[in-house]
Chain A
Amino acid sequence: QKEVEQNSGPLSVPEGAIASLNCTYSDRGSQSFFWYRQYSGKSPELIMSIYSNGDKEDGRFTAQLNKASQYVSLLIRDSQPSDSATYLCAVIYSSASKIIFGSGTRLSIRP
């Protein structure tokens, strides 16, 4: 079992709608969770971090964490064509400093 799991997509969402991206992780002791966005041919960039159960909002982005279910999600409201990218979930493992990524979900916003 991969340590961080994501649906690879592609996820197609109409412009203006809410895009919902999901991630599960296997290490119950993990405390730090991240969402990175990667445009084609570019490096990943951090868009959200979350450490506590519940929701964290930043502009059009909301990260949600449920440690009991080992589940983290990213919601993108009012989706724009510029949101079309691959979204990578990342987790810091409790036993070490290593940061592990999921395989990424490719998101496509259709006009």
Chain B
Amino acid sequence: NAGVTQTPKFQVLKTGQSMTLQCAQDMNHNSMYWYRQDPGMGLRLIYYSASEGTTDKGEVPNGYNVSRLNKREFSLRLESAAPSQTSVYFCASSPGTGIAFEKLFFGSGTQLSVL
């Protein structure tokens, strides 16, 4: 099983450029999340989608947009990248129902640098 797949693994952008981080899960999970991780900051929630068709802001949503394209896919878009968005981005999913409904399964991360 692939689990949670994120693309790309690495990306370098110039200030003002746009890009979309892709995330897909093959576990039939209801909930999906985007986090960013900066040194010494732990994981900070950007946006989440509790179920297909819904999205909500997390702790640090400014400068980002998301799309829950279908149950499998949850993308994160940077419309105009800024150096402050240099970070490691993790996508995660959780079942959303049943036993261990909230256990997070993480992708391998995307290292993004904005110059």
Kindly identify which residue among B41, B56, B94 contacts A96, using a CB–CB cutoff of 8 Å.
B56
Decide if B78 is an interface residue (CB 8 Å cutoff).
no
Inter-subunit contact B108/A104 (CB<8 Å)? no
Inter-subunit contact A46/B103 (CB<8 Å)? yes
Residues of B within 8 A of A102 (CB): 42
With A96-B56, A97-B50, A98-B58 as contacts: A46 and B104 at CB distance below 8 Å: yes
Dominant SS at the B interface? loop
Inter-subunit contact B48/A98 (CB<8 Å)? yes
Nearest A residue (CB) for B54? A97
With A43-B108, A43-B109, A49-B100 as contacts: A99 and B40 at CB distance below 8 Å: no
Residues of A within 8 A of B45 (CB): 98-101
Number of contacts between A and B (CB, 8 Å)? 58
CA distance A6 to B59 in the complex (A): 17
CA distance A55 to B59 in the complex (A): 30
Task: Give the size category of A's interface with B.
Answer: 20 to 34
CA distance A104 to B88 in the complex (A): 15
Name, among B45, B96, B107, the residue most crowded by chain A CB atoms within 10 Å (CB to CB). Answer: B45
29 A-B residue contacts at CB 8 Å? A6-B42, A8-B40, A32-B102, A43-B90, A43-B106, A43-B108, A44-B43, A44-B90, A45-B106, A46-B103, A46-B104, A49-B103, A90-B43, A90-B104, A92-B102, A96-B50, A97-B96, A98-B45, A98-B48, A99-B33, A99-B45, A99-B94, A99-B104, A100-B59, A101-B35, A102-B42, A103-B41, A103-B42, A104-B42
Known: A44-B90, A100-B59. 13 other contacts (CB 8 A): A3-B59, A6-B42, A32-B102, A43-B107, A43-B108, A43-B109, A44-B43, A44-B104, A96-B50, A96-B56, A97-B48, A97-B96, A100-B45
Q: Which residues of A contact B (CB under 8 A)?
A: 3, 6, 8, 32, 34, 36, 43-46, 49, 88, 90, 92, 96-104
